[in-house]
Structure 1
Amino acid sequence: MTKNGIRIIANVTRIALISAAAAMTLAGCLQTPEEKAAFKASQAAPTPVVMNATKGEAPTVSGLSHYKDGYPGFGAPLTAANVQMSDQEAGGLQSKLTALAAQRKAGTISEAEYQRRVAEFRKLAAEHGADTLSEIAN
């Protein structure tokens, strides 16, 4: 066999291997719409579970998974312990704080009144967590 013949065979083999590798790579990227929907559903946020206070009573059955010995299984995604702030509440607080800053900048509110309101908001931020925990505990 001549050098040209060996070169041609080597080039054809190289192209075949590259094509096979590209086909295998692209085959791994293709997903059916059902597979895409199943993946999207598995990534969705879990629905929250509301637990009632037991006040010393035996705990009620929850949506969490439990082992045979009664201990909870933490393999499933956990949910939030409390209700999150809504967009309306966040917008209301933001508008209050923006209005307070605008009043301070325009000079329509005294520095003492501004500092009093800031201290009020900081006190609310510091005590809100403890108040909520005491409500949950009772």
Structure 2
Amino acid sequence: MTKNGIRTIANVTCIALIGAAAAMTLAGCMQTPEEKAAFAARQAAPTPVVMNATKGEAPTQSGLSHYKDGYPGFGAPLTAANVQMSDDEAGGLQKKLTALGAQRNAGTISEAEYLRRVAEYRKLAAEHGAETLSEIAN
């Protein structure tokens, strides 16, 4: 084999390896539509909530620290927007619901009473969020 033949084989091999490396690199960059949608959802900005001052009063200072010019500073740790349910409250509600189910299974309350209470709890669950938001807004 001549020098030119060996050089040609080496060049072809080199080009093939570069092409294979490029193909593998591009294959690693491909994403499914679900992965693209999940990535876009993570990158989307959160929806802002604007709360107006109530009854013409000046808005109160939030839990954020403020600079001298009045702009909020985000260096201080944030607090919850609302009071969270305590473990005792959650346990109490769980006991109530467990007792209601046990009474139904034991037959100590009528089916109509059980359904009335279930409807009451479902109505509370459906309306409580909207009522609380309206109280916060006013």
Deviates more, 1:74-83 or 1:92-101: 74-83
Deviates more, 1:53-62 or 1:83-92: 53-62
Q: Which runs of 4+ in 1 moved over 4 A?
A: none
Q: 2: CA distance between counterparts of 1:123 and 1:59?
A: 33
**Structure 2 length normalisation: TM-score?**
0.51
1:126 alignment counterpart: 126
C-alpha distance after superposition, 1:1-38 (max 9, x if no partner)? xxxxxxxxxxxxxxxxxxxxxxxxxxxxxxxxxxxxxx
Consecutive unaligned residues of structure 1, counting only runs of 5 or more, are 1-52
Matches within 5 A, 1:107-118: 107-118=107-118
2:79 alignment counterpart: 79
Consecutive unaligned residues of structure 2, counting only runs of 5 or more, are 1-52
- 3-state SS of 1:98 partner: helix
Residue 69 of structure 1: how far off its partner (Å): 5.6
C-alpha distance after superposition, 1:29-59 (max 9, x if no partner)? xxxxxxxxxxxxxxxxxxxxxxxx7532222
| Larger RCO, structure (CA 8 Å, separation 6 or more) | 1
1:137 alignment counterpart: 137
**Structure 1 length normalisation: TM-score?**
0.51
8 Å contact kept, 2:63–2:78: no
1:57 alignment counterpart: 57
Q: 1: CA distance between counterparts of 2:136 and 2:61?
A: 18
8 Å contact kept, 2:54–2:137: no
Q: Percent identity?
A: 91
Length, aligned pairs only = 86
Q: 1: CA distance between counterparts of 2:89 and 2:100?
A: 17
